[in-house]
Structures are given as structure tokens and as C-alpha cells.
Chain A
């Protein structure tokens, strides 16, 4: 997790949004994200928004041409989006994976570990608090989508 959080550009207004946190070097897409339903019909869209109950696997045939998948968290208690993110990353998706909605600072680390690399929280997150939360734990016990080396591998080389 060497990258620094950058404030992102709001694709709609072109203004820097204080709410956004982004951990990617590439330029954000300026295409608006379409729903999974309309994505099926609109075969040229490159940005999709998944609702919490949507099946992320429906996107697997299209991963190559997707630049952005936004996953909605209607409430921070609804953890389905964590699995959606891991399913996409395990299938090789490399584009932007954005967590949107009720995203709080205390969930950022687990979201990053599951493969999210940008955040559009409903209420702004203090960037310094985000930095602290993301670096709170020295290691991780289990492999996930963030490339962190699990403790068992550190133990055994």
C-alpha cells in the first residue's frame, strides 16, 4: 500500500471532489456508470454500477473492456460488495473498482484488501484518518485481492 490517496476528479463536474479517494495512477474514466441491466443492452459501455444484490459474475465475459466498476454499499452493514470485489479481482479484472455509498473510514482497509481502489463515500472521509486506518495493521493473516503477503508466507518464506 505504497500509493498515496489522491483526491479524485468528479467525472460529472470536472471539479476535484473532496469526497473521493483514489488509489490508481491512471486517469479516471469520464463515462457515467450504467446499471447492470442497461449494461447488458448497451454493449459499448465501459463503466458499470452494481447494486449490492447484483451478481458480479454477470460481468466476467466483459472484463477486458471495462474501465470502471462501481459497487454500491447501501449501508455499511451490507457486506455483499466485498465478495463482488473479490470475485472480479479473482477473475482478473484490472480496471477501477470503486466502492460507493455508505463507505466509512473504518471499512476502508477491508475494502482495499478485497480489491477496491477508489472510493466515493456519501459523507467525506478525512484523508489523514484514511491513511491511519489503511496502515493500522502491520500484516494480514490471509491472502486477498490486494497482494498483501499473508503472515504464513512471511513465517515460511
Chain B
């Protein structure tokens, strides 16, 4: 994985010093809250319902053991012993004191971590495929591109006061595990006919109040021009994106209002201007691309493990193996997902002790790498098959071996009204009630892949539009109310869910989900047809009848 050189370290250290100074000026009263707000937001510090919340960047969701251990330390020393992994592959701490913020960032900087641009109207942390470097279906490791973009976008002088926040995802496989088309810019690394690597560029996707699947703006931009092209995409947005209405300020509205063709034309014009300027654009030389790529070279896999298979004697292990373990491109190795969705737990939460354990396991069994997924789980990407049983035993002892990857209890939920100052309704208890309702593992496995996603307000941090079943918390005359949506997907077949009809109260929404799921069991062609495919085949009506009947 990528390691800082002295330039990277000096930039992060400088940022820590700057932020300490800003915090001191705020604490002394020299800065007003209004002046401090954009500065703390550029450092991931939000003021929430009960305390400050700090969001720490996990670039493209990749962590080392030492970094994970530092996250545990922050949880233990400065929070209440927990951290919350988010749908942006970041981690949030919900109980932070302003006086501690500078020190926390200084400690994070010792393991090459920061909170730079994890909030504010700037280019946010880059997200990517959690199976990068391990998936058999990728054309290249997307993190090379993500790291290049991280550097280009860090402290970007022109794009730090955009109309609104800006999120970029990079994938390199046809299977989309990062909801790429639901980002402000989604990039898919591809090879052109000449065999050169480059990116297909999708612009203007997003969730929130006006969800949109991003249209393809350019089929191919070569590795030597991508940063300049992104600069052009952002400049058109910075100049012409709406600033009069916060709900219409994301780039998806600009692309939609102009139309993809006109937006593309303007970007191409800007791209041409940038390339005509002295220096011929802003892209680094191939040597820089190669330098970063070397950091993502495959780890030293053992060819002699190729024929290994795990011992299948333990039936519980077998269930976990078939549900949470994926094929690896290297024979003899596997990708293991650690579910952070135990029944009754808070989706995405991990305790300091769990984080420490995962750090140890990563160092011992996965070439010192952990990944965070946008579905709020963790991944050990490179586990020798011969170690899988030992891994499962260690996870099981720590309550981390829930075998529910992509099943009905693997629910994405935003913090909601338990923490978030923008929330209309609680998300976490709804996720907990649904997981409890479907706690029976045989029932979950019979239902197969079924992605439930819950947001506590229209901002859609819980990706409810992209859930096979989505739940949106709204405020109905001062009472929490939940709308039900069906048919969304954040994968390569991206689509937006549709509202079923009138909303429900907290108990009612759990019943409505169960009626939906039972209707699916009756309607499915056979047990291999996923919920989403049944919905797409039969449409909304039979579900409506079952729900409201």
C-alpha cells in the first residue's frame, strides 16, 4: 500500500500545525464560530447534537495494522471506546472535545493519517473498490489512480470553495463494489483498443434530495491526461454550479440542467484551454505514476499455497466461508469480509478492542492490510486459505464472525437522530429491529442477497435510494415516519429505488419490510432469483398489494 515520503509527511504535519493554530484562535475567541466553521470542516470536525464529531479519512478505504491500531487508540483515549465506519469508507468519532482535536490529528499524522477534506465544500476523500489488488476481475489496481487523485485534490487552491461537496470514486472492474455511478465523478479504469490504461468518466451522479445515476461524459481519458481532464470537469462546475440554493448546488444539478452533451462540450473546451496553457496541462509525468504504482505492487504471495483448501469440518465455519469469503486472484488465497453487523448491533461500529484484534490479524494473516467497505464492513484482502479457519476462530471469539455479507441483516444505516444534527428520524434502532426480526440465519440465507439501506433524512448518507429495500426517515408533523423504497442498486446495474406509498412508524416499517420480503419469497421464480431481480421482473404492484393489502 502507499507510504508517505517526506513531502507527503511534511504537508500533513503542516496541516496539523495550521489546524492547531485555528483551534487556538477559536478557543480564544479570535475567530467567530462562523469563521471557524469552514476551517474545522476542512479538517473533518463537525458540531453534532451532543458533541463534536471527527471524521478521519481512510483514503480509498485502505489501512495498515498500525493505522488500525491508531484508530483504536483514538477511540479509547478521546472517544467512548468506539469508532463508526461510514459509507464513505471513513471512520467517525462521535464524542470529541474541541480542545483535543489538534492533538488527535497530530497522533494520526504519526501513522500517515489525517482528516483533511473529509467535510466542507471541497473534493472529499476518494473512495474505491474494497477488493482492489485482490479481485480477479480488475484490469489494474484502482488505488494507483485514487492516490494520484488524492494528491492532486489535496489543498487544491481553486477547488476548496466549490458550490458544494464533491465525491470521487474509482473502480477498475466491471462489477461495481463502490457505487461509482452515484458519485459526483465516477471513474472506471479500462484499457482502450491500443491496450493503454485510462479511465471512463461518469459525472453528475449522486444521492441526496435529487438522486441521479451519473451519465458517461467521456469514454476514455489516458493516464497522461486524467488530472487535467478532472481539473476541467471541476472548473466548469466551480464557475457555473448553482450557489443560490444548497439543494441544487451539487454537480448533478448542473449536468442535468445543461444536459450531458452541453456539459461535455464545456469540459472539452476547458480541457483544450488547459492543455494549450504553458506546461500543457497539469498532469504529472509517467515516472510519478510508476512511483505510486510500485507502492501497490502485489504482496509476496506464496505460490506453494496454490492447492490449499481450508478444513471444512466445523459447520459454523462453513457458513461463514460460503457467505463472507470471496475468491482471490491469487490461487491459495481468499478475501475475507469481517461483518460489522452483528444482530442488534450498530451498523459500522467497532470497539477499540475489536480494532486492535483486526490490526493483529491483518499483520499476521493479510500482508498488513485492512479495507473498509462502503457497506460499513471491514475486509482482510489477502488471507491464505490455510489460515481461514484460524482467522474465523479469532473473529468468532471477538463477536466479529457474523456470516451475513450482503444478506438482509447486512444493513447500511447512517447515524440518524441518535447523533446527527440534520436528522429527521433515527436510523440505528430501525436497523437493529429489522436485523432482530430476521435473526434466523437459515431464513436469511434462504432470502439470499438483499441490501437494506437506511437514511435518517433526505441527505441520504445511508444510501437509501440505492438499497434493494431503502428506508428514509422523515418528519411528519413532529413524529418520526419512515418511507419505504424498492428497487435501488448501487452496483454495476445502478438504479434508484421508488417509494412504495404512505410511510410507517417505527414498528410499522419493520412489519412492512417483512411483508415485502415475504412477498418476494412467493413471487420469486426460484430460489436463485435475487430480490432485486424479482422486483425488476414483476414491478411494484404485487409488492404494494402485499404491503398495504
Nearest-neighbor residue (CB-CB) of A77 within chain B: B161
Q: Is B159 an interface residue (CB 8 A)?
A: yes
Chain B residues whose CB sits within 8 angstroms of the CB of A124 once the complex forms: none
B160 & A141 in contact (Cβ 8 Å cutoff):
no
A139 & B277 in contact (Cβ 8 Å cutoff):
no
**Interface-centre pick from B17, B157, B160, B163 (highest chain A CB count, 10 A):** B157
Chain A residues whose CB sits within 8 angstroms of the CB of B291 once the complex forms: 155-156
Q: Is B257 an interface residue (CB 8 A)?
A: no
Question: For the complex, what is the distance from the CA of A143 to the CA of B54, rounded to whole Å?
Answer: 30
Chain A residues whose CB sits within 8 angstroms of the CB of B7 once the complex forms: 138-139, 151, 154-155
Known contacts A90-B273, A143-B279: A109-B157 contact under CB 8 Å:
yes
B274 & A79 in contact (Cβ 8 Å cutoff):
no
Q: What is the minimal beta-carbon distance from B280 to any residue of chain A, in angstroms?
A: 11
Known contacts A79-B162, A90-B273: A156-B157 contact under CB 8 Å:
no
Known contacts A138-B11, A138-B14, A151-B7: A113-B157 contact under CB 8 Å:
yes
The stretch that binds B, out of A1-9, A17-25, A36-44, A80-88, is A80-88
Nearest-neighbor residue (CB-CB) of A146 within chain B: B157
The stretch that binds A, out of B67-75, B130-138, B281-289, B397-405, is B281-289
Question: For chain A, which range describes its interface: under 10, 10 to 19, 20 to 34, or 35 or more residues?
Answer: 35 or more
- B38: which of A77, A91, A152 is its contact (CB, 8 Å)? A77
- B152: which of A113, A114, A141 is its contact (CB, 8 Å)? A141
Chain A residues whose CB sits within 8 angstroms of the CB of B154 once the complex forms: 141
B39 & A106 in contact (Cβ 8 Å cutoff):
yes
Render A58-102 as a binary contact track against B, CB cut-off 8 A, 1 for contact.
000000000000000000111110111011001100000000000
Question: For the complex, what is the distance from the CA of A114 to the CA of B238, rounded to whole Å?
Answer: 14
- A79: which of B5, B14, B160 is its contact (CB, 8 Å)? B160
Nearest-neighbor residue (CB-CB) of A136 within chain B: B18
A90 & B277 in contact (Cβ 8 Å cutoff):
yes
A141 & B151 in contact (Cβ 8 Å cutoff):
yes
Render B2-18 as a binary contact track against A, CB cut-off 8 A, 1 for contact.
00010110110011011
B158 & A82 in contact (Cβ 8 Å cutoff):
yes
Question: For the complex, what is the distance from the CA of A122 to the CA of B195, rounded to whole Å?
Answer: 55
Render B404-441 as a binary contact track against A, CB cut-off 8 A, 1 for contact.
00000000000000000000000000000000000000
A80 & B238 in contact (Cβ 8 Å cutoff):
yes
Question: For the complex, what is the distance from the CA of A132 to the CA of B25, rounded to whole Å?
Answer: 14
| Chain A positions near chain B (C-beta within 8 angstroms) | 55, 76-80, 82-84, 86-87, 90-91, 104, 106-107, 109-111, 113-114, 132, 136-144, 150-156
Q: What are 22 contact pairs spanning A and B, CB under 8 A?
A: A55-B239, A77-B121, A79-B121, A79-B159, A79-B162, A79-B163, A80-B243, A110-B155, A113-B157, A132-B21, A136-B14, A136-B18, A137-B155, A138-B11, A144-B158, A152-B151, A152-B285, A154-B7, A156-B284, A156-B285, A156-B288, A156-B291
